[in-house]
Amino acid sequence: MRPHVMMKSLFGAALLAAIPAHAHEAADAPGAGRVTIATSDVDRFYALYDDPALAAQPEVVAARYLATPSPGLAEFMVMRRITPEKLAAALRNKRQVFDDARGCAANLPDVRTRLVAATDRLAQIYPAAKFPPITIAIGRATTAGTANAKGLYIGLEALCAAKFIEADDEDRFVHVIAHEYVHVQQPLAQVEDREESVLRAALVEGAAEFVAERMTGSVAYPLLHQWAKGREKELETIFLAEKDQKAIGSRWLYNQKGADGWPGDLGYWVGYRVAKAYYNRTPDKAAAIKAIIKMTDPAAFLAESGWTPGITL
**Inter-CA distances, 141 with 61, 109, 202, Å:** 15, 22, 26
Beta-strand pair 134-137/145-148: unpaired
Alpha-carbon gap, residue 253 to 247, rounded angstroms: 6
The pLDDT score that the predictor gives to residue 2 is 58
How does the average pLDDT of the chain come out, rounded? Answer: 89
Looking at the predicted structure, is the pLDDT value of residue 75 above 90?
yes
When pLDDT is averaged across residues 220-246 and rounded to a whole number, the result is 97
At residue 293 the predicted structure's pLDDT band, cuts being 50, 70 and 90, is very high
- The conformation of residue 31, written as its DSSP 8-state character, comes to T
The pLDDT score that the predictor gives to residue 5 is 44
- Sorted by sequence, the CB contacts under 8 Å of residue 313 that are 6+ apart come out as 273, 276, 277, 280
Alpha-carbon gap, residue 161 to 172, rounded angstroms: 10
Alpha-carbon gap, residue 91 to 65, rounded angstroms: 13
When pLDDT is averaged across residues 64-81 and rounded to a whole number, the result is 95
91-145 residue pLDDT tens: 999 999 999 999 999 999 999 999 999 999 999 999 999 999 999 999 999 989 8
- Confirm if 219 and 212 have CB atoms less than 8 A apart: yes
Which amino acid, 143? T
Alpha-carbon gap, residue 137 to 122, rounded angstroms: 24
- Backbone region of residue 249 per phi and psi (left: phi > 0; alpha: psi in -120 to 50; beta: other values): left
At residue 19 the predicted structure's pLDDT band, cuts being 50, 70 and 90, is very low
190-227 residue pLDDT tens: 888 889 999 999 999 999 999 999 999 999 999 999 99
Distance of CA 189 to the CA centre of its chain: 13
The pLDDT score that the predictor gives to residue 253 is 96
At residue 1 the predicted structure's pLDDT band, cuts being 50, 70 and 90, is low
pTM over 0.85: yes
The pLDDT score that the predictor gives to residue 92 is 96
144-182 residue pLDDT tens: 988 887 899 999 999 999 998 999 999 999 999 999 999
R_g over Cα of the chain: 20
The full set of domain ranges for the chain reads: 14-185, 194-305
